[in-house]
Amino acid sequence: TEMGCLSIVVLGASGDLAKKKTFPALFNLFRQGFLQSNEVHIFGYARTKLSDDDLRERIRGYLIKGAPSENPEILSDFLKLIKYVSGGYDSAEGFLSLNKAISEHELAKNSYGSSRRLFYLALPPSVYPSVCKMIKSYCMNQAVPTGWTRIVVEKPFGKDLASAEELSAQLGELFDEPQLYRIDHYLGKELVQNLLVLRFANRFFLPLWNRDNIDNIQIVFREDFGTEGRGGYFDEYGIIRDIIQNHLLQVLCLVAMEKPVSLRPEHIRDEKVKVLQSVLPINYDEVVLGQYEGYTDDPTVSKDSNTPTFATIILRIHNERWEGVPFIMKAGKALNSRKAEIRVQFKDVPGDIFKCKKQGRNEFVIRLQPKEAMYMKLTVKKPGLDMSTIQSELDLSYGQRYQEVPIPEAYERLILDTIRGDQQHFVRRDELRAAWEIFTPLLHDIEDGKVKSVPYKPGSRGPPEADELAAKAGYVQTHGY
Ligand code: BG6
């Protein structure tokens, strides 16, 4: 590991993301020994006037929640590393005092080694440009020639192609691409990270993973709660920008990409970009949008909102491997369950002598959450004296198989990557552009009311039209044992 002092600055320290995700992830890294008290200092920055202790008290509860059995001493050691600086997001004065605090820490900890500064923007994107300008002007570590400055940003990166490009250009003027870490927390999930290994380290899958054998692929996100408390944000963005354009599309890349030249981040991201660029324009006959009943009761949501809280969109990849295979992207809020999974459905066996077709097809399911698992639905002889068949499962459930290994939180892993300088699991600028290119025309047409959301009941599977669309695209519901 690199030596020297590490300053982690959480901007927007009193906000929801910082409290719920960033600080707990830092705490988890600390208790596992990835952040050393003799090197690291954490700075919270926000507009609210708070003392160091006020901030510590605000986040304490969230830290305990994430690690209930932790020794209280470790918690207080961690809290001691946190300092707070208040200031505006375009205030030179504020950023000068932040720089002063960081520099003091660097001087106290070491003046020889390299100094590393990580700025985590747990902030609304509208302030990214000004905050980045402030960091660039006032918080770069000129005193120490070695070391680095890195900026971590969270989606939404713009609202469409044009605004995303504008934001990229603004940040790109201030920082180089290797300094910018665009987080998509789905890339930090264990089973998402497993996709490359699964596909490219297993002989089982290599020859089957293509249009000759696969009939359709579903990438599904469901949540069993609505937009509670985030109606204002959500109404402006909708489910496509909130989930599909980023999280599910990243998953699609990993499912569909060609084998990268190596595991180098650039090689992997090169292949992801190619897949995105091969996605055909969306055919509106293959789109179903929904909005749950009661969504507009939220006073922060406009009464005549057409914003989808549910969408099924079929993407088609125009290349040799995937032509003709629908990628059924499905995401919804206020549904009947919380689940994220990938379902790879294989074609029927030709010349079926068992007449087992109606029991369902081979299907390979990767459940990202909850209860991480991979299972294969396959046909076996029904145990017993009869020669009949049933659908059964080969099941690798992580909770059972890897009991002793706790699965890390996505944010924990991604923050560690930013410290280590590994950009593999972060979204590159050209990936982002290609992702927006796919969805921007549809998003504009939804805003213009040209594509409408149909109502669905909260707690349901979503609009029945979506199931019909998936069935039309070839998805066959299987019947378990
Ligand atoms: C966020 C979305 O990016 O992901 C939320 O803004 C959503 O709307 C969340 O609830 C889901 O994340 P996870 O990890 O719980 O699936």
Ligand 1: nearest atom to the Cα of 186 = 14
Q: What pLDDT score does 113 carry?
A: 58
For the CA atoms of 308, 314, 316, 317, the dihedral, rounded to the nearest 10 degrees, stands at: 70
**Burial class, 136, CB count within 10 angstroms (exposed 0-12 / middle 13-18 / buried 19+):** middle
Ligand 1: nearest atom to the Cα of 234 = 8
Q: Which of 243, 251, 341 to mutate to test the pocket of ligand 1 (most atoms within 8 A of CB)?
A: 243
Ligand 1 centroid, distance to 17 Cα (angstroms) = 11
**For ligand 1, atom 9: residue with the closest CA:** 243
Ligand 1 centroid, distance to 91 Cα (angstroms) = 31
- Assign 111 a pLDDT band (cuts: 50, 70, 90): low
Task: Single out the catalytic residue among 41, 105, 185, 247.
Answer: 247
**For ligand 1, atom 13: residue with the closest CA:** 186
Q: What pLDDT score does 65 carry?
A: 85
Residue 474 confidence (pLDDT) above 70: yes
Complex prediction ipTM: 0.94
Q: What pLDDT score does 1 carry?
A: 44
Structure tokens that stand for 175 in this block: 């920082």
The 3 state secondary structure assigned to 117-176 is: EEEEECCCHHHHHHHHHHHHHHCCCCCCCCEEEEEEEECCCCCCHHHHHHHHHHHHHHCC
Residue 284 confidence (pLDDT) above 60: yes
Could you please report the per-residue DSSP string of 38-101? TTEEEEEEESS---HHHHHHHHHHHHHHH-TT--HHHHHHHHHTEEEEE--TT-HHHHHHHHHH
Mean of the pLDDT values across residues 371-383? 95
User: When comparing pLDDT for 426 and 477, which is higher?
Assistant: 426
Ligand 1: nearest atom to the Cα of 155 = 3
∠157-45-89 over CA atoms, to 5°? 55
**For ligand 1, atom 11: residue with the closest CA:** 243
Q: Which of 185, 234, 407 to mutate to test the pocket of ligand 1 (most atoms within 8 A of CB)?
A: 185
Distance (Å, whole) CA 288 – CA 312: 5
Between 118-122, 165-169, 405-409, 416-420, the lowest mean confidence (pLDDT) is in 405-409
**Burial class, 17, CB count within 10 angstroms (exposed 0-12 / middle 13-18 / buried 19+):** middle
Between 29-43, 92-106, 138-152, 412-426, the lowest mean confidence (pLDDT) is in 138-152
Residue 410 confidence (pLDDT) above 70: yes
Ligand 1 centroid, distance to 479 Cα (angstroms) = 30
β-pairing verdict for 40-46 and 287-292: unpaired
Which residues fall within 8 angstroms of residue 255, CB to CB, at 6 or more apart? 195, 199, 217, 219, 327, 342, 344
Mean of the pLDDT values across residues 395-410? 92
Between 112-121, 371-380, 408-417, the lowest mean confidence (pLDDT) is in 112-121
- Assign 77 a pLDDT band (cuts: 50, 70, 90): very high
Percentage, residues of the chain above pLDDT 70:
96
Average per-residue pLDDT in the chain?
93
pTM: predicted TM-score of the whole model, two decimal places: 0.95
Q: Which of 247, 248, 368, 414 to mutate to test the pocket of ligand 1 (most atoms within 8 A of CB)?
A: 247
Q: What pLDDT score does 60 carry?
A: 93
The enclosing H or E element of 390 equals strand 389-397
Distance (Å, whole) CA 328 – CA 334: 19
Which residues fall within 8 angstroms of residue 71, CB to CB, at 6 or more apart? none
DSSP SS3 for 362: coil
The enclosing H or E element of 270 equals helix 265-277
Residue 479 appears among annotated catalytic residues: no
CA end-to-end distance (rounded Å), the chain: 50
- Assign 5 a pLDDT band (cuts: 50, 70, 90): confident
The enclosing H or E element of 220 equals strand 214-222
Question: Which residues contact ligand 1 via a Cβ below 6 A?
Answer: 185, 223, 242, 340
Q: What pLDDT score does 271 carry?
A: 98
**For ligand 1, atom 4: residue with the closest CA:** 243
- Assign 138 a pLDDT band (cuts: 50, 70, 90): very high
Ligand 1: nearest atom to the Cα of 410 = 14
DSSP SS3 for 267: helix
pLDDT tens for each residue of 319-351:
999 999 999 999 999 999 999 999 999 999 999
CB of 193 closer than 8 Å to CB of 425: yes
pLDDT tens for each residue of 38-62:
889 999 999 999 999 999 999 999 9
Distance (Å, whole) CA 332 – CA 255: 21
Distance (Å, whole) CA 449 – CA 317: 27
Ligand 1 centroid, distance to 197 Cα (angstroms) = 25
Q: What pLDDT score does 149 carry?
A: 93
Ligand 1: nearest atom to the Cα of 247 = 3
pLDDT tens for each residue of 218-248:
999 999 999 988 888 999 999 999 999 999 9
Q: What pLDDT score does 480 carry?
A: 46
Distance (Å, whole) CA 211 – CA 207: 11
**For ligand 1, atom 8: residue with the closest CA:** 242
Ligand 1 centroid, distance to 78 Cα (angstroms) = 27
Mean of the pLDDT values across residues 113-122? 88
Q: Compute how many other C-beta atoms are within 10 angstroms of the C-beta atom of residue 197.
A: 10
Distance (Å, whole) CA 117 – CA 151: 9
**For ligand 1, atom 6: residue with the closest CA:** 242
Ligand 1 centroid, distance to 229 Cα (angstroms) = 14
Mean of the pLDDT values across residues 81-100? 96
Integer-rounded Cα radius of gyration of the chain: 24
DSSP SS3 for 193: helix
Ligand 1 centroid, distance to 326 Cα (angstroms) = 24
Packing angle of the helix pair 265-277, 249-256 (nearest 10 deg): 100
pLDDT tens for each residue of 182-205:
999 999 999 999 999 999 999 999
- Assign 95 a pLDDT band (cuts: 50, 70, 90): very high
Sheet holding 40-46, edge to edge: 82-86, 40-46, 5-11, 115-121, 147-154, 180-183
Residue 425 confidence (pLDDT) above 60: yes
Ligand 1 centroid, distance to 231 Cα (angstroms) = 14
Ligand 1: nearest atom to the Cα of 221 = 16
